[in-house]
Amino acid sequence: MNAGAPLATSESDESIAEKIQRGQHQYFGEILIRYEAKIKRYARRFLTDPKDAEDAAQEAFIKAYRNIQSFDTSRKFSSWLYRIAHNECINFLRKRKTESLPLFDLDVLFPHLAREEHLDDMNVRQTKEEIELALSRLDPKYREPLILYYLEGFDYREIADILHIPVATVGVRLARGRKILKNFYEQLTGIK
């Protein structure tokens, strides 16, 4: 990074966003340093086509800058930025029409009550492995919560904020996604 050199490495994302809102544009460089790799990785896992992922991530940062005045600094910046990235990825999926994206899902209307699960380290490690192996074979509606929870480290509430779905639906999709993954993994490796 040359232009807009890092300025505030110890500051929170939210206070950096506040500075950008006040017109100190150069701080956007710090946001790029902190999030560019993460957003690109997220887009790559979600979109599978690397070129689309690159474009989606780039567009997400442009939109984040354009709309930064709408960011409420009392909320979490990362959830806000990932929400923009999520919308961009969805736009790319719609354009490509390679995967079906239902406009409406019953699990949003009537989600079962699902409590946040806390898996032990070994289970988390195994699920991460399963996700990396079988990610592209998963339906986007299950793929995304799994990426956000296991690979990006968001909790249920943050995922609900990023995807704009009920917290209970996050739990439902994670549970179903894990089950589907397990089946794929068993088919691929033959390990039960």
Partner 1 sequence: MNEQDQNNKDRQDDQLLNKINSGEVKMRPRVYFVLRAALAVVGTIFLLAVSIFLISFLIFVVKGRGSGLNLHIFVSVFPWILLGAAVLIVLALSWILYNYSLAYRNPLIYVPLAVIALIILISVAMQLISFHERFERFSVRRRVPVFEMFYRKHAREMMPDMDGTPGRPDLNFFYRRSGLPF
Binding-site ranges for partner 1 (CB under 8 A): 1-4, 20-21, 25, 28-29, 32-33, 36, 58, 61-62, 65-70, 108-111, 157, 160-161, 164-169
Q: Minimum distance from CB of 94 to partner 1 (Å)?
A: 19
| Cα 17 from Cα 67, distance rounded (Å) | 11
* DSSP state at residue 26: G
Nearer to partner 1, 62 or 101 (CB): 62
Nearer to partner 1, 74 or 190 (CB): 74
With beta carbons less than 8 A apart as the criterion, state whether 151 and 177 touch. Answer: no
User: b vs e for 123-160, b when ≥16 Cβ sit within 10 Å of the residue's Cβ?
Assistant: eeeebeebbeebbeebebbbbbbbbbbbbbebebebbb
With beta carbons less than 8 A apart as the criterion, state whether 131 and 182 touch. Answer: no
Nearer to partner 1, 1 or 124 (CB): 1
Nearer to partner 1, 69 or 100 (CB): 69
Q: Minimum distance from CB of 147 to partner 1 (Å)?
A: 20
Q: Minimum distance from CB of 65 to partner 1 (Å)?
A: 6
